[in-house]
Amino acid sequence: MSLNTDFMVKVAHTAIQGVPVTLQIVLVALLISLPVGCLFALIRIYRIKGLEQIVKLYVSFVRGTPIIAQILIVYSAFPSLLNMIIGKAAFSINPIYYAYIVFTLNSIATLTEVFRSALQTVDKGQLEAGLMVGMRPRQIFWRIILPQALISALPNITNATLYLMKNSSLAFIMSVKDITAIAKTEAAFNYNFLEAYLVVWVYYLIICYSAEVIFYLLERYFSKYRRSTKKTTYFNWQPFSIKQPNVSAEAELTESGRGDHAQNRRIKKKL
Amino acid sequence: MLKIEGLRKSYDGNEILKGISVDVSKGDVISIIGPSGSGKTTLLRNMTTLEQADGGHIQFADVDKDFQKLSSKDIQTIRRNVGFVFQNYNLFNNKTALQNITEGLIVARKVNKSEAKKIALEALERVGLSDRQNHYPSQLSGGQQQRVGIARAVALNPKVIFFDEPTSALDPELVGEVLKVMRDLAESGTTMVVVTHQMNFARNVSNKVIFMADGHIVEQGSPESIFEHPSEKRTQEFLTDILANV
Ligand SMILES: Nc1ncnc2c1ncn2[C@@H]1O[C@H](COP(=O)(O)OP(=O)(O)OP(=O)(O)O)[C@@H](O)[C@H]1O
Ligand SMILES: [Mg+2]
């Protein structure tokens, strides 16, 4: 078996038009789900009555179902729903909007959990210290807690983004013309499936790898305060370092405010 | 200057503070000693409104009220006039030593930036850390972090500074530098309330010692009277124990 390289070059050329589509889906989903996820995390941490249950339910629905099922549901439910409101025009909507909806809803759930554990890793003592220098809780949240939470969330946000990028390849199901969809069409014309898929494979590899580098640089830049003078972490330049999301690892650290005072007391006493 | 009467606090039905009265005068350096679990931290946290007391009266700054009737304005007034130094420093980890001090000045007190920086640099100088102003907490030793914590409290020029076991989380070789700073503060007339297990400090630096056990003040008085002739059996036992362990 030999690869048809001419065909591969051709697919590479056409499929590149799908790159902006893929990136758009990822960007839209991220831009919406980052603030919303953060808000949902706060709702859960501060146990806002009523809303807390809804967020909890939402997260478990999304996390407990395969994304393919979510795609199929949104793609079959939304057009007919819209049809009832705006009539026939609903069926001529660019399907990329459905992709935005699915992937946004999906990553909101992931990021809610990411932010929840990140916010809880910020030691509550700093809140008390802020209060004792006269700052308002809101000021402490924006200036002290949130910046630290965002930085400690970065590795998990990176993972969530990589998953989002890879999952976005399922958008072809909704007839969105992303990288995967274009390559698939090309392949079907010529029956050169392997070649087309190899091209897809390389494209995703490049995109994900670039994202990983960007996030690494962000993390290094913003976490300067966490580096003690000696210890520096270097980027792992091998492209296969992609880690599994580590979302709920620290989730239950300080469920109630009490933990912290208890923790104070646990610090070993030295006479 | 600061007067607390009949302070009570319970957690889940367990009464931890069973009516505590404390009277702090200007220039006082009061040491609070007592066994673990006696309620010393709880007392400090309730006196400074970090937690809400279940009963008792506070007279401080412009406030003269029962704890339960404090308005959020009263709480703000009280917090504005106290400083707090925590056992585990609680520095803002995303801020440099200097920013840790200017943060409260700029954000809460609305001091302008250059003035805040000037005050902060003076405070850092007092704790001997002028050369560390741009270091983040993670780049400082425990002793240095605690000194920044003290500078942060001092810079706001509060009426009273509370210390909750400021040296307990430190490695033994770092305790001295923090105690020295506290001693300097005491000598310059700062009013201080210090929960401590450092009997040398209690005895030689403070002018008043309070011995607490089981949510009560068992005995209080001058360091000489507490350390030389404790009148209560609990105090004697505690001192014998703790001095034997040093
Ligand atoms: N938030 C809380 N919830 C429940 N119990 C608490 C809480 N805080 C303190 N306690 C209880 O109150 C008692 C007194 O605690 P506190 O921390 O004030 O003691 P302490 O005198 O400071 O002791 P140590 O010398 O060990 O610091 C302890 O029995 C503790 O278990
Ligand atoms: Mg304590």
Nearest CA to ligand 1 atom 1: A258
Distance (Å) from CA B196 to ligand 2 centroid: 9
Query: Does the beta carbon of A131 lie under 8 angstroms from any beta carbon of chain B?
Result: yes
Average pLDDT over residues B68-83: 94
pLDDT for the residue numbered B188 = 94
Q: Using the atom order of ligand 1, give the atom closest to the CA of residue A257.
A: 1
CB–CB contact B138 A270 (8 Å):
no
pLDDT at position B161 over 50 = yes
The model's confidence at residue A250, banded by pLDDT at 50, 70 and 90, is very low
Question: What letter does residue B198 receive in the DSSP assignment?
Answer: -
pLDDT for the residue numbered A249 = 37
Average pLDDT over residues A46-54: 92
Which residues in chain B touch residue A146, judged by CB atoms under 8 angstroms apart? none
The model's confidence at residue A247, banded by pLDDT at 50, 70 and 90, is very low
Residue carrying structure tokens 């026939």: A88
Q: List the single residue in B90, B136, B170 with the smallest CB-CB distance to A129.
A: B90
**Which tokens belong to B40?**
């010393």
CB–CB contact B103 A134 (8 Å):
no
pLDDT for the residue numbered A34 = 95
> pTM of the entire structure?
0.83
Min Cα–Cα distance to chain B from A142, Å: 12
Average pLDDT over residues B123-140: 95
The tens digit of pLDDT for each residue in A118-167 reads 999 998 899 999 999 999 999 999 999 999 999 999 999 999 999 999 99
pLDDT for the residue numbered A227 = 61
For every residue of B133-196, DSSP letters joined together read TT--GGGS-HHHHHHHHHHHHHHT--SEEEEESTTTTS-HHHHHHHHHHHHHHHHTT--EEEE-
Average pLDDT over residues B51-72: 94
CB–CB contact B50 A132 (8 Å):
yes
ipTM for the predicted complex: 0.93
Higher pLDDT, A268 or B81: B81
pLDDT for the residue numbered B137 = 95
pLDDT at position A270 over 70 = no
> By the 8 A CB rule, do B32 and B212 touch?
yes
| CA angle (A210 as vertex; A224, A22 as ends), nearest 5 | 125
- Strand B55-60 relative to strand B2-11, pairing: antiparallel
CA-based nearest residue to A208, from A249, A170, A247, A243? A243
Min Cα–Cα distance to chain B from A262, Å: 11
Residue carrying structure tokens 């401080």: B60
Which residues in chain A touch residue B171, judged by CB atoms under 8 angstroms apart? 270
> By the 8 A CB rule, do B209 and B30 touch?
yes
pLDDT for the residue numbered A230 = 42
| CA angle (A203 as vertex; A199, A209 as ends), nearest 5 | 145
| Whether the CB of A258 sits within 6 Å of ligand 1 | yes
Question: What letter does residue B105 receive in the DSSP assignment?
Answer: I
pLDDT for the residue numbered A252 = 34
- Ion ligand 2 contact residues with beta carbon within 5 A: B 41
The model's confidence at residue A76, banded by pLDDT at 50, 70 and 90, is confident
Q: Using the atom order of ligand 1, give the atom closest to the CA of residue A258.
A: 1
> Which residue of A lies nearest to B173 if distances are taken between CA atoms?
A270
Distance (Å) from CA A140 to ligand 1 centroid: 26
pLDDT for the residue numbered A229 = 46
What percentage of chain B has pLDDT greater than the value 90? 97
Q: What are phi and psi of A166, to 5 degrees?
A: -70, -40
Average pLDDT over residues A217-241: 65
pLDDT at position B48 over 60 = yes
How far does CA B145 lie from the centroid of its chain? 16
